[in-house]
């Protein structure tokens, strides 16, 4: 749901988002189930930036 919620936030005009990340969420000391793997962060940020640029073009 991290990507979906991030896209929703950007779509309605949020200027920032908070994403918990960890190299290996399964071994995180807390909130591992709510974290994005750090290796997936770059791809998600690229999508969110592209979405913001598309929205701003209108």
The sign of the torsion formed by the CA atoms of 20, 26, 28, 31 equals positive
Q: What is the pLDDT of residue 19?
A: 96
pLDDT digits (tens, 9 = 90+) for 11-27: 999 999 999 999 999 99
Q: What is the pLDDT of residue 49?
A: 97
Cβ burial of 58 (10 Å; 0-12, 13-18, 19+) is exposed
Q: Which residues of 4-31 are buried (b: 16+ CB within 10 A; e: fewer)?
A: eebeebbeeeeeeeebeebeebeeeeee
pLDDT digits (tens, 9 = 90+) for 1-58: 999 999 999 999 999 999 999 999 999 999 999 999 999 999 999 999 999 999 999 9
| Total number of domains constituting the chain | 1
The whole domain housing 35 covers 2-56
């Amino acid at each position: 749901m991290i990507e979906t919620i991030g896209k929703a936030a950007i779509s309605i005009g949020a200027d920032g988002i908070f994403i918990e990340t960890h190299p290996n969420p399964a071994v995180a000391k807390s909130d591992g189930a709510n974290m994005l793997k750090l290796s997936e962060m770059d791809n998600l940020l690229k999508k969110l930036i592209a979405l913001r640029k598309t929205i701003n073009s209108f």
